[in-house]
Structures are given as structure tokens and as C-alpha cells.
């Protein structure tokens, strides 16, 4: 199977890192909302792009064999 489509089963260290990444992105979004609480189209795009970046950050972390079972 191509590596792009493989499932990554995280070990406890990988799960902890995934949680830290999620919290970091959540903190960033909370800070952005505090500075600019509007609900514009641009803010919606910002949220979507942060979600996308979070996904790729977690995928990159999960690609490290040291974080997988």
C-alpha cells in the first residue's frame, strides 16, 4: 500500500504528541478569535486552514515510526 494511505496506530507517546498538537492549534485559534471575534468569510477560511494545518502536523508526527505501535 502507498504510504499516503496507510493507517498509523499511535503508541502512547504518539497519542500524547497528537494531543499536544491539537491543544496548540486550539490555543492559536482561541488567540485569533480573541483578537478578531468577527464571523466573516475570511475568519471561516482561517479556521479551515488551521484545521488543515493541524491535520498535516498530526500526520507528519504519525509518520515517525517512533510514535507508532
**Residue 45: per-residue pLDDT:** 98
**Residue 8: per-residue pLDDT:** 82
Planar angle of CA 48, 25, 53, nearest 5 degrees? 50
Over residues 7-48, the pLDDT tens digits come to 889 999 999 999 999 999 999 999 999 999 999 999 999 999
Cα–Cα distances in angstroms (integers) from residue 17 to residues 1, 8, 11, 36, 68, in the given order: 25, 13, 10, 29, 11
* 8 A C-beta contact, residue 61 and residue 21: yes
**Residue 40: per-residue pLDDT:** 96
User: What 3-state class would DSSP assign to 68?
Assistant: strand
Domain ranges of the chain: 23-61
**Residue 7: per-residue pLDDT:** 81
For the record, the C-alpha cell of 24 comes out as 496548540
Amino acid at each position: 500500500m502507498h504510504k499516503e494511505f496507510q493507517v498509523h496506530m499511535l503508541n502512547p507517546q504518539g497519542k500524547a504528541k497528537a494531543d499536544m498538537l491539537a491543544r496548540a492549534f486550539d490555543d492559536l485559534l482561541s488567540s485569533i478569535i480573541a483578537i478578531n471575534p468577527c464571523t466573516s468569510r475570511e475568519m471561516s477560511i482561517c479556521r479551515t486552514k488551521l484545521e488543515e494545518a493541524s491535520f498535516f502536523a498530526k500526520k507528519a508526527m504519525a509518520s515517525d515510526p517512533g510514535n507508532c505501535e
